A and B are shown apart, each in its own frame.
Chain A
Amino acid sequence: MNILSDRSRDIGEFVPAEDDDMLICRCEEVTKGEIRKAVHDGMWTITEIRRYLRTGMGLCQGQTCARLVKGIIAKELGISPAELEPATARSPMRPVEMRVMGNEEA
């Protein structure tokens, strides 16, 4: 049971901020406001945010924004970033074209 298990916890209303239009995930063009809003829409984990907004799912695979997104979610939830589970790590670690993915040499 961790702090994220209780989804009925009141995290307050979404309050618009001046820097809401700032790009956070450049590859998928997701803004800070969209991420903050998603938390208020009920996406409390990095995995949920990724599926909902595609942050960290682009070309750089979150190399730049993973830490930033984590910080934004944590702040919105009022917890420490260390309490958030990191995104699932899965192959391919780097973007690979489908024609290469399919060309396996066993």
Chain B
Amino acid sequence: MKRYELIVVGAGPSGLSAAIEAAKCGVEVIVFDENEKPGGQLFKQIHKFFGSKEHHAKVRGFKIGEELLREASDAGVEVVLNATVTGLYQNKEITVRIGDAIHHYKGDTIIIATGAAENMVTFPGWTLPGVIGAGAAQTLMNIHGIQPGKRVLMLGSGNVGLVVSFQLMQAGCEVVAVADAAPRIGGYGVHAAKVARTGVPFYLSHTITKAHGTDHVTGVTISEVDSSFKPIAGTEKYFDVDVICIAVGLSPMSQLFKMSGCNMEDNPKKGGQVPIIDSYGETSQKGVFAAGDVSGIEEASSAMIEGRMAGVCAAQYLGYCTEEEKENKLKDLEKDLDSLRQGMFAPSNRGKLIEKTDEGIDVSMSLLTKGFVSDDEIERFPGVTHKVGVHPVMECTQNIPCNPCQDACPKGCISIGENITNLPFVTDGSQCINCGMCVASCSGQAIFLVDEDCGDGYASITLPYEFLPLPKIGDVGSGLGRNGERVCEATVVNVKNLKAFDHTNLLTIKVPKEYAMKARFFRA
């Protein structure tokens, strides 16, 4: 039996972060992962992440994955792939299937970062080919470059459902609708808004009642549900689709903890069965830690911090750093983690209806039920102001931990203030130079540069555009409202793509000036 100072199970964002942090302290680390590539779900994430600089905000997920792999190799972390951990026993012994043999290892410390598995829902026809998880859709599109289908219905309006809906459209699929049994959209409003403005309808309080087809999906029926989630007869809506994508949450893959005898709890707020841990991830068994989604469903940014915390704790447990060094490192990490857990979508707010922002502004109810802020609601948010000349309009209306916009503006036009969850506002006396950095930096694609009167009765709107084919200067098409409906004719007057924009193209369209605050998307 081979012995290691630290064995990490899972080479996703949290497992790698844990291994890196421990290795930097001098710990001899080995990481096992059952997949053929490291990085877990990070390499499927082609969107820009939220948060602050410390959380890699505005960097696309797969880029964060590449950084992490580089950091791991620099730190001398040994990662064994195609290595399935089949058991965790008392005294920190594990069995790993590698090739055609079962290998035994013993760790002086163990960090389990096995992540989570997707939940399923059942309805007649749910076993038909074409009913897939959102993770599968991402794997097909973003890893293998394969379209899951032509027309898709998304079930689930959490961040996964919203982000994957957008990615499906980027891959050239048509998303016919996003449905959710809950009465309100679960994910970030900005994610919903960028889907809604392309014309995708949201059906809240709706669930799938039937998948049609004999040997594959050919259509889907959704129905409205009552307050006890029972379908209401007569409310059926049918869509022609060849894919039904399911994004109804994740369950921690925590079986290894249970097997080794760690104290467990069934905690719906954390997504199901999780080990009972202290604030740095240590379980009831000394030297066995949990990090990332396996200890409670959150997202990759917090998983990476949790991983680092567990790595530091394991290093101290092994004597590679002093209690004081550990405390110092944990203090910074805790600050980063805390800032991610603030705002309306903080884990403690899960399931709650929040009616006012921290600033005391009424939250847009249209955003929560239809996916877009209505024209009469948008003006009340601090990022939406009127000025002569080009100026940023920030349609950021919920308190989420994110602030790249304020660092993006070279002229200091945008401020978030002390608290990372504050709504952005335009600073007094600042002069916008129309550079577009804010538009490209906004992970939620919620910033627009507007010139409400650029002459001859027209207004110009610069918007983020991440679809192909890219419109060309001179193209005439439709200006779409926040709800995705055509509001006016629009002409493309500029298309900008700089390296600093990181693949977010900036499209400037000209519209009749009465639509300056209404048109938010372009369709050729």
Contacts and interface: CB of A to CB of B under 8 A. Distances in A.
A105 B251 CA distance: 32
A23 B34 CA distance: 28
B101 A104 contact: yes
Nearest to B98: A105
B259 A89 contact: yes
B84 A93 contact: yes
A22 interface: yes
A90 B101 contact: no
Contacts of A99: 100
B102 A105 contact: yes
Contact of B120 (A32, A64, A86): A64
Contacts of B87: 90-93
Contact of A96 (B102, B103, B122, B272): B102
Interface in A43-94: 63-68, 81-82, 86, 88-94
A15 interface: no
A8 interface: no
A106 interface: yes
A68 B124 contact: no
Interface residues of B, number: 32
Contact of A94 (B86, B127, B268): B86
A76 to B, nearest CB: 15
A64 B87 CA distance: 20
Given A96-B86, A96-B102, A91 B120 contact: no
B259 A90 contact: yes
A94 B120 contact: no
A2 to B, nearest CB: 13
Contacts of B127: 23, 26
A32 B89 CA distance: 34
A24 B119 contact: no
B102 A103 contact: yes
Interface in B1-31: 1
Contact of B97 (A67, A82, A92): A92
Contacts of B100: 99-100, 103
Contact of A22 (B124, B256, B258): B124
A67 B272 contact: yes
B255 A89 contact: yes
A94 B32 CA distance: 14
A3 interface: no
Interface size class of A (residues with CB under 8 A): 20 to 34
A25 B402 CA distance: 41
Interface string B251-285: 10101101100001010100011000000000000
Nearest to A65: B120
B101 A89 contact: no
Interface string A13-57: 000000100111010000010000000000000000000000000
Nearest to B103: A105
Contacts of A94: 34, 84, 86, 97
A13 B53 CA distance: 60
A86 B97 contact: no
B425 to A, nearest CB: 43
A45 to B, nearest CB: 14
A52 to B, nearest CB: 20
Nearest to A26: B127
List the 9 closest A-B pairs by CB distance, nearest first: A91-B87, A89-B255, A92-B86, A89-B258, A89-B259, A82-B266, A103-B101, A104-B102, A105-B101
Given A86-B258, A86-B273, A90-B259, 14 more contacts: A19-B124, A22-B122, A32-B122, A88-B258, A89-B255, A90-B87, A91-B259, A93-B259, A94-B84, A94-B97, A96-B86, A101-B102, A103-B102, A104-B104
10 contacts: A19-B124, A24-B122, A67-B119, A86-B273, A89-B256, A90-B87, A92-B87, A96-B86, A104-B102, A104-B103
Interface of B: 1, 34, 84-87, 89, 95, 97, 100-104, 117, 119-120, 122, 124, 126-127, 251, 253, 255-256, 258-259, 264, 266, 268, 272-273
